[in-house]
Amino acid sequence: MMEVVRESYPDFTAFDPSSKYFDVKSDSDNPRWVMVDIRFIERFEETIALSDLRHYPELEGMTLLRKGNRLSITPVSEEHWNFIGQLAHAQNA
């Protein structure tokens, strides 16, 4: 589990021609890529598969579980977050 500790800001690696993430179409005035800083909170021994999450009626309507959504940019409601946290702690107890 991680926590965002700094809101998004331009990804400086996109401006560096020597970086494998260099993007010729991105510049500091018009960045195409952003990043956030995160802090480690907790590691769980077991992961919960996306396919397993689909079986819980408590997660009905969760954006993550809708077909075609990208995992990296999906919001999670506080209600769904808390339920998944309970599942994770129960699995790892």
Can you tell me whether residue 30 is helix, strand or coil? strand
Distance of CA 82 to the CA centre of its chain: 15
pLDDT in tens, 65-76: 988 877 777 889
Mean pLDDT value of segment 49-68: 92
Asked whether residue 88 falls in the same domain as residue 65, the answer is: yes
How many structural domains is the chain composed of? Answer: 2
Residue 10's domain comprises: 1-43
Integer Cα distance of 6 and 4 in angstroms? 6
Question: Residue 91: its pLDDT value, please?
Answer: 79
How many CB atoms neighbour CB 10 within 10 A?
17
Percent of the chain with pLDDT over 70: 99
71 or 5, higher pLDDT: 5
- Residue 1: name the closest of 59, 42, 51 by CA: 42
Q: For all residues of the chain together, what is the average pLDDT?
A: 90
Asked whether residue 59 falls in the same domain as residue 93, the answer is: yes
